[in-house]
Structure 1
Amino acid sequence: MKRIFLFLATNVAILLVLSVTLRLFGVDRILNEQGTGLDINNLLIFSAVLGFAGSLFSLAISKWSAKRMMGVQVIEQPRTADEQWLVETVRRQAQAAGIGMPEVGIFNAPEMNAFATGARRNAALVAVSTGLLRGMSRQEAEAVLGHEVSHVANGDMVTLTLIQGVVNTFVIFLSRVIGYTVDKVVFKTERGHGPAFMITVIVAQLVLGILASMIVMWFSRQREFRADSGGATLAGRQSMISALERLRQAHPPALPDKMAAFGITGGLGDGLKRLFMTHPPLEERIAALRNAA
């Protein structure tokens, strides 16, 4: 979850900075009227350049931002038995997965968590929390490491970047089309753009960005199943199942299964919540591994 959250947060921040900067310098005055209305071709090119610039830059600084935001301490020289085990386990799994040795780090957090990030398969970062090292057996932790190494081997960060770039492009494009339409049709602005244009663009970009994030989240959920399968291959299927079971025990549902239908969080609310989940429910991931066996 932290890998996706850090990437999306960085992407949104970069898009915001780029949008404001281009607006201040007048670069985004791309909505020129060409007799019949919008210059759609120029707008689409502008949107693609801005959209992919945000996602690609987010990918490029993903390791740097993860280290700073999460306080990851990269293991340069193992000083403890746990650090030695972590480095050697990741080294062995990386060789088995056919990727270069990632950087290995630890971040201080009480919850059991881990993530992998990086722009290239052969120069990634795999980090685990202190809570995971304390709360899981080595067999379970090895499965979690295998899951993260599989994310790297599968190129999930690069694929996520490309999908985010396409999503950004359409959000930027459609928000400006909506802003132009509201400005010209509703507020009857005849020359240039009135205040309604920028206000509508900002609101539309926020709303469309939220809706578009559902696509990114759906993709993320599908890749989790594949990473679980990779972790099962690298560390053993039962170890992967055991690790997920450990996580489920640490995060029990708010209501027992038999009462969930009567709870305030059931029904439509849970359905909407699921659309924004970066990971599938642990029960589904465990069932998928057992069915695959």
Structure 2
Amino acid sequence: MEFSMKRVLLFLATNLAVVLVLGIVANLLGVNRFLTANGLNLGALLGFAAIMGFGGAFISLLMSKPIAKWSTGAHVIDQPRNATEQWLVESVARMAKGAGIPMPEVAIYEGDPNAFATGASKSSSLVAVSTGLLQTMSREEAEAVLAHEVAHIANGDMVTLTLIQGVVNTFVVFLSRVVGYLVDSFLRRNDEESSGPGIGYMVTTIVCDILFGVLASIIVAWFSRQREFRADAGAAQLMGSAQPMVGALRRLGGLEAGELPQNVATAGIAGRPAWMALFASHPPIEERIRALQSR
């Protein structure tokens, strides 16, 4: 999979910036001296946190397209087999040209109304739509959905959310282990014979990984919702008017959105917020319509 040099540099710069900020803050707070005295090397921890935080997010990005194809059973259209597939490929090609990006792969999968875009880069992307969406929407509404997905690719949303996920993951890994050492040191303050981390460290780290991970999910979900507003605006620009996208959203508001696999859920067009709105990857459809109408 190809990455533009700009995005590679962005990834490396973000990774380095996170490590530097954590190192500076830890030194200013005296955490470095405390951890070193208790057998923990801060530099090694920072490296471990960065590798774990960005490594998982980066691998997920690289595997996003093949996993999406496998998990949805999407059929990539190499040669259109009917008029619908021909129209679908031509529509995506037109949108991609308007957005100034390479032609994505186009796929169809069986399921309730939904669509998604994924891929590690603009030159290795995929736009997939469900049979349910094609059957329930007008051509103009479906084109608006395609424009929304193409806008996601043009905006680099997959890479952006991966970077954000990597940043918050790094903080989760780092802070969980620092808190674990603090708690473990407190519990064993009168035990001079033991060395190395004890059960307090392991339990605290696991608990903090869960708690901080929940907070991290809220942060990533917030950024995801902002990217949805931007993709809606991009769709309106590609369509030449906000009305087709408004119509598509209104149609989706009256449908039961199809479930998407977790790895592509944030890239779907439909997906009503769960009962915990803070964790929703998409804003309420009503808010998206108001944002488009206020442009």
TM-score by length of 2: 0.78
2:84 is the alignment partner of 1:79: no
The answer for the alignment partner of 1:241 in structure 2 is 246
CA distance in 1 between counterparts of 2:96 and 2:173 reads 38
Aligned residue pair count? 244
Is structure 2 residue 228 aligned with structure 1 residue 227? no
Instruction: Note the residue ranges of structure 1 that are not aligned, 5 or more in a row.
Output: 1-31, 253-269
* Partner residue, 1:173: 174
Equivalent position of 2:136 in the other structure: 135
Given residue 286 of structure 2, which amino acid in structure 1 is its aligned partner? Answer: E
Instruction: Tell me the equivalent position of 2:64.
Output: 62
Cα distance, 1:112 vs structure 2 = 1.1
Structure having greater relative contact order (Cα 8 Å, sep ≥ 6): 2
SS of residue matched to 2:101: coil
Residues 62-113 of structure 1: CA deviation (Å, up to 9, x unaligned): 101111111111111110111111101001110110100100001111x210
For 1:271 and 1:234, locate their aligned partners in 2 and report how far apart those are by CA, in whole Å.
30
CA contact (8 A) 2:113 2:256 kept: no
Deviation at 1:271, TM superposition (A): 11
Which residue number in structure 2 is paired with residue 120 of structure 1?
121
1:1-293 maps to which residues of 2 (within 5 A)? 34-35=36-37, 38-109=40-111, 111-188=112-189, 190-235=194-239, 236-251=241-256, 273-292=276-295
Where in structure 1 do 4 or more consecutive aligned residues deviate above 4 Å? none
Shift of 1:36: 5.9
Q: 1:122: how far off?
A: 1.6
Name the SS of the counterpart of 2:276 in structure 1: helix
Residue 173 of structure 1 aligns with an amino acid whose one-letter code is F
Q: For residue 234 of structure 1, report the CA deviation from its aligned partner.
A: 1.5
In structure 2, how many angstroms separate the alpha carbons of the residues matched to 1:271 and 1:145? Answer: 24
Report deviation, 1:227. Answer: 0.3
Partner Cα separation in structure 2 for residue 161 and residue 40 of structure 1:
25
TM superposition shift of 1:250: 1.4
TM-score, with length taken from structure 1: 0.79
Q: Over the residues paired in the alignment, what is the CA RMSD in angstroms?
A: 2.1
Range moving further from structure 2, 178-187 or 89-98: 178-187
Q: d(CA) in 2 for partners of 1:62 and 1:81?
A: 29
